[in-house]
Structure 1
Amino acid sequence: MSTHRALRATVVAVAFGATGLLGAGVASAHVTADIYGSEPQKGGSGAIVLRVPNEEADAGTTKVEIDFKPEYALSSVRYKPVPGWTAEVTKTQLPAPVKNGKNLDVTNPVTKIVFTAQPGSGIAKGDAEYQDFEITASTLPSTVDELVLPAIQTYDNGQVVSWDQVSTGGAEPEHPAPTVKLAAASAGGDDHAAMASGSGESGSGGSSGTDDTARWLGGAGLIVGALGLGVGGGAVLRSRKAGKSNA
């Protein structure tokens, strides 16, 4: 009996551990910018998931605006369509060109993307729901170690919350801006986060899709392995009991 209990405890622990790996990072109290996989490289492309939770008990979120600093010199920002939402990418003509991460002149960088909920859609009031907005950006700057992406969240009651405060190393500000760290450029260049499938602009899929598939298959493999461990353990116990009965 003690062997069966120990085996069952092991299976449960592994199963819960696998589930935790797959579900990590689901809940967040603030608007955040997340990277799945390795950090995007300076001068390359980056796939970013902006997670927007609703935080008002009596109002739902109907618009989300993400701002990009002109000095980042982003020549392209693509988005994955979200059912019930529209998206608009804005470029701004600058009085003088700025250098991008590949040291090329950019005169009209992307400075904003706005996601707007269609009537009857949006993030429901209360604190139980959130929405992910997936984008890819290039060419990433080479002169900063971190992207700061201020966000503006608008509710259906007219309330507007700006997530634009930058942490200075002390306590977290009340409305921190979403941030993304950038890794140093590698000698082979950066193919990380080529275009996500279903993006708002045309582009072929790259290593990002392969990495995502591998990660999900790896997570699923953990759960399947845990279940297999339970089945195998049960078979061993049954064979032992059968052997005792025959004896």
Structure 2
Amino acid sequence: MRFTSAHRLAATTAVATAALVAVASPAFAHVTVQPGQAAQGGYTAVAFRVPDESDTASTVKLEVSLPMDHPMASVRTQPLPGWTATLEKSKLDKPLKSHGQDITEAVSKITWTAEPGTKVAPGQFQEFRVSLGAMPADTEKLTFKALQTYDDGNVVRWIDEAKEGQAEPAHPAPTLTLTKADAAGDHHAAGGASQDQAAAASGKSGGSDNAARTLGVVGIVVGVIGAALGVAGLRRKSSAN
């Protein structure tokens, strides 16, 4: 009886773990922007997280298009060893006001190209960090369409926009959710921070996001195992009686 209960416990745990991995994996496999939200009206630092999904090819280039319907006056890339970042600007139909000046053009595209000997190999991921601002105050989200190029010539187009009420597309575009800044002063702390402050916070945000996600998954697995142990104990007790 103990042998059967142990096997049932192992099977339950294995199924639960596999289900959790299946749920978590697709989200991680996408190209995403981290953290997933920022405050309207301020500056923020984000990282475009790029996993290599191929079993045989490595990622050697990332192209990210910035939304020109909501252009930003300031865009700065953080240096990344082994990668060259190129910023492409476009003329604006309507100038932006920034610190009392008219901005007539804005960054519309960022391209990171791997230098010889550098790549994102299968089973790895890389984060490409950018400081952005000021965030628009008239929209609740920004969509960044991205192209991921592999060294075998394959290009994955992360450009599909998710629609409410429909299943997530196969290659969703990275999306940044914008939230209202608090009037009591949190606007300056979260959304209205300077670019230097935003860049410094970026390094912490990626780690916190990973840690929270990992702890959440571990907690669920532990809960499932605990429940399985409880059921097995009750069955042993019933058999003994």
TM-score by length of 1: 0.64
The 5 Å alignment of 1:169-208 reads 169=164, 170-187=166-183, 188=185, 189-192=187-190, 194=193, 204-205=196-197, 208=200
Map of 2:214 onto structure 1: none
Distance 1:100 1:131 in 2: 34
Shift of residue 69 of structure 1? 1.5
- Give the Å deviation of 1:139: 1.1
Of 180, 197, 212, 2:204 maps to 212
Q: Which amino acid aligns with 2:174?
A: P
Aligned partner of 1:153 in structure 2 is 148
1:7-59 CA-to-partner distances (Å, cap 9, x unmatched) read xxxxxxxxxxxxxxxxx99x8111011118xx421111121111100111221
Task: Quote the offset at 1:148 in angstroms.
Answer: 0.5
Match of 1:113 among 99, 110, 115: 110
Give the structure 2 partner of residue 237 of structure 1: none
Identity of aligned residues (%): 36
Q: Is the 8 A contact 1:43 1:102 kept in 2?
A: no
For 1:171 and 1:148, the matched residues in 2 are separated by 18
Question: Could you say which residue in structure 1 is the equivalent of 2:42?
Answer: 44
Pick one of 57, 60, 63 that aligns with 1:62: 60
Structure 1: gaps of 5 or more residues:
1-23, 196-202, 220-247
Which whole-Å CA distance do the structure 2 matches of 1:207 and 1:89 have between them? 18
Deviations 1:187-235 (A, max 9, x none): 334343756xxxxxxx64469549939x87xx8xxxxxxxxxxxxxxxx
Corresponding residue for residue 34 of structure 1: 34
Within-5 A mapping of 1:71-150 = 71-94=69-92, 96-99=93-96, 106-124=103-121, 126=122, 128-150=123-145
Q: Deviations over 1:69-96 (max 9, x none)?
A: 11212111112111111111221123x2
Runs of 5+ consecutive residues of structure 2 not aligned to the other structure: 1-23, 212-241
What's the CA shift string for 1:152-208, capped at 9, x where partnerless?
10111111111010011211101000011111133334343756xxxxxxx644695
Q: For the structure 1 residues 41 and 144, does the alpha-carbon distance in structure 2 shift closer, same or farther, using more than 3 Å as the test?
A: same
Please report the RMSD computed on the Cα atoms of aligned residues, expressed in angstroms.
3.2
Provide closer, same or farther for how the CA distance between residues 191 and 207 of structure 1 changes in structure 2, counting only shifts above 3 A: farther
Q: Which has the higher helix share?
A: 2
Judging changes above 3 Å, is the alpha-carbon distance between structure 1 residues 210 and 98 closer, same or farther for their aligned structure 2 residues?
Answer: closer
Cα pair 1:64 1:115 within 8 Å, conserved: yes
TM-fit CA distance, 1:98: 4.7
- Quickly say closer, same or farther: Cα 1:207–1:161, change in 2 above 3 A: closer
Secondary structure of the 1:74 match is coil
Query: 8 Å contact 1:32–1:179 — kept in the other structure?
Result: yes
Distance change (3 Å), C-alpha of 1:92 and 1:123: same
Change (3 A) 1:98 1:130: same
Indicate the structure with greater strand content. 2
**Contact persistence 1:43–1:101 (CA under 8 A):** no
SS at 1:174's partner residue?
A: coil
Query: Distance in 2 between the 1:85 and 1:78 partners?
Result: 15
